[in-house]
Structure 1
Amino acid sequence: MTQKVVKRQEILDAFNFRRAIKTFDPTKKISEEDFNVILEAARLSPSSCGLEPWKFLIVQNQEFREKLKEISPGAQGHLPTASHFVIILSRTSKDTRYDSEYVKNQVLNVTGFPAEMSDQVIESIRNFQVNQLNVLENEQKALDWNKRQTFLPFANMMTVAALLGIDSCPIEGFYIDKVEKLLAEENLLEDGYLAVSAMVAFGYRANDSTLFPRGRRDMKDIVQWIN
């Protein structure tokens, strides 16, 4: 019981530690071992239908970061100072439609369903996409669905970082068309099979005095039990 109490407190301490850090200490770098744990948390994250509609670009090249900085107003303090900078990509419907080669491979070779069950599994994905969520009505709706999935590993990466005493900041302050143009020019969007979802920076905070006060609504204001 004591061990559980300690573990609960460790989890809450990590969430209280996590803040949206605007500038990192550029002299402090995350160890390879720690960052691999953060990436593994992303890899092991859940996704709808088990499709894993994501890819993570780890941007360490300083010249490339400078190009990003010009088109990412929300990352001005992060790109020059972060130990690791990640662009989270979402797969488009070219990959995530139930009848795509990507889905077939995911069912047969990644999730490991027996070949004789593959048609049944793909049909269940078709029914889910077409009849339940209706996400294939148009490309934007399909892309929005895929991007929502990417926020699962997105959040898990920041939580695991906080558990390791590593700071982070989620970033959506960028010109998405310009960022996608830059990535496409570098052949990083797989000819339209990937799109930009979000960015996240990791490192160690430069100065605690730069933190703004953080408030949260009371539990009673955001939770309603239906018994």
Structure 2
Amino acid sequence: MHDKHPDPHPDPSGPDAYAAAKSQLLDAYRFRHAVKDFDPARQVAADDFDFILEAGRLSPSSYGFEPWKFVVVQNPELRSKIAVHAGGARRQLASASHVILVLARLPHDMTADSAYISYMLDDVQRLPQEISDMKRKTYDAFLRTGFALQDNERAMFEWSCRQTYLALGNMMTAAAMIGIDSCPMEGFVKLETERVLAEEGLLDTAHFGLACMAAFGYRAGEPTEKTRRPLGEVVEWR
């Protein structure tokens, strides 16, 4: 009697596949840490970085309005100019393979009656008119009374920034899953950094502000052990 041959086309949604996917994702989270010094001799392959960017592009956002733009800065001279006002990112700017400036939409672009929201509803989401009108009305109520954001420009901008962090997290996780390191960075003087970016033609100050930066590449040394609070302190069940 011959042994049964393994199924050449296993069910991709079977229990073994689920277990493998969960293990791979948790391994990626354990691998990822905030790299301060990258190996400048190692560069991320173009197709790998495209994969990371696509993870950002496909990320969720509130109402699906994608209030972000990703600017990839590879020019060493430009990185040096940014570093003058980014003390918390100087080491990464100098050594990372790739650096992304994560931009967030300004408040006037995110109001329910803005040209940008109309573009998203009509040209990107391509909603039927009655559905578009209903979604715009619901969104307007959310801004005015739900989260009560619209009368506070700083709160509106920070809400846009919160959306960009969903994309940022997905890009870092995607990178970790293929063995690429990353570091999210907020260590910059916002107004001065934005001034440099505007002078260099990288920031349209009529529509965007700088939310954060992210560096990608390969670690120059091994990290310290990852520390996190135990699950019992983080999660409460009722």
Which TM-score band applies after superposition, normalised by the shorter structure?
over 0.9
Q: Distance in 2 between matches of 1:169 and 1:150?
A: 15
Structure 2 partner of 1:126: 140
Which of 40, 45, 54 is residue 59 of structure 2 equivalent to? Answer: 45
Supply the AA of the counterpart residue of 1:221: E
Structure 2 partner of 1:137: 151
Larger-gyration structure (1/2): 2
1:6 partnered with 2:6: no
Structure 1 partner of 2:68: 54
1:150 partnered with 2:150: no
Structure 1 partner of 2:196: 182
- For residues 30-79 of structure 1, what are the alpha-carbon distances to aligned partners after superposition, in whole Å with 9 as ceiling and x for unaligned? 11111111101101111111110010110001110110111111112111
Which of 13, 33, 36 is residue 22 of structure 1 equivalent to? Answer: 36
Which of 113, 121, 128 is residue 127 of structure 2 equivalent to? Answer: 113
Which of 173, 181, 187 is residue 173 of structure 1 equivalent to? Answer: 187
Structure 2 partner of 1:104: 118
Structure 1 partner of 2:5: none
1:164 partnered with 2:164: no
**TM-score normalised by structure 1 residue count:** 0.95
Which runs of at least 4 in structure 1 moved beyond 3 Å after TM superposition? Answer: none
1:71 partnered with 2:85: yes
Structure 2 partner of 1:217: 229
Q: Distance in 2 between matches of 1:6 and 1:124?
A: 40
Give the secondary structure class of the aligned counterpart of 1:169.
Answer: strand
Q: Distance in 1 between matches of 2:228 and 2:174?
A: 21
Q: Distance in 1 between matches of 2:153 and 2:59?
A: 24
Q: Distance in 1 between matches of 2:90 and 2:163?
A: 26
Q: Distance in 2 between matches of 1:191 and 1:159?
A: 30
Q: How many residues align?
A: 224
Structure 2 partner of 1:195: 209
Gaps of 5+ in 1: none
Q: Which moved more, 1:88-97 or 1:185-194?
A: 185-194
Gaps of 5+ in 2: 1-14
| CA RMSD of superposed structures (Å) | 1.1
**TM-score normalised by structure 2 residue count:** 0.91
Q: What's the offset of the Cα at 1:213?
A: 3.2
Q: What's the offset of the Cα at 1:116?
A: 3.8
Overall identity of the aligned pairs, in %: 41
Q: What's the offset of the Cα at 1:182?
A: 0.7
Matched-pair contact (CA < 8 Å) for 2:44–2:217: yes
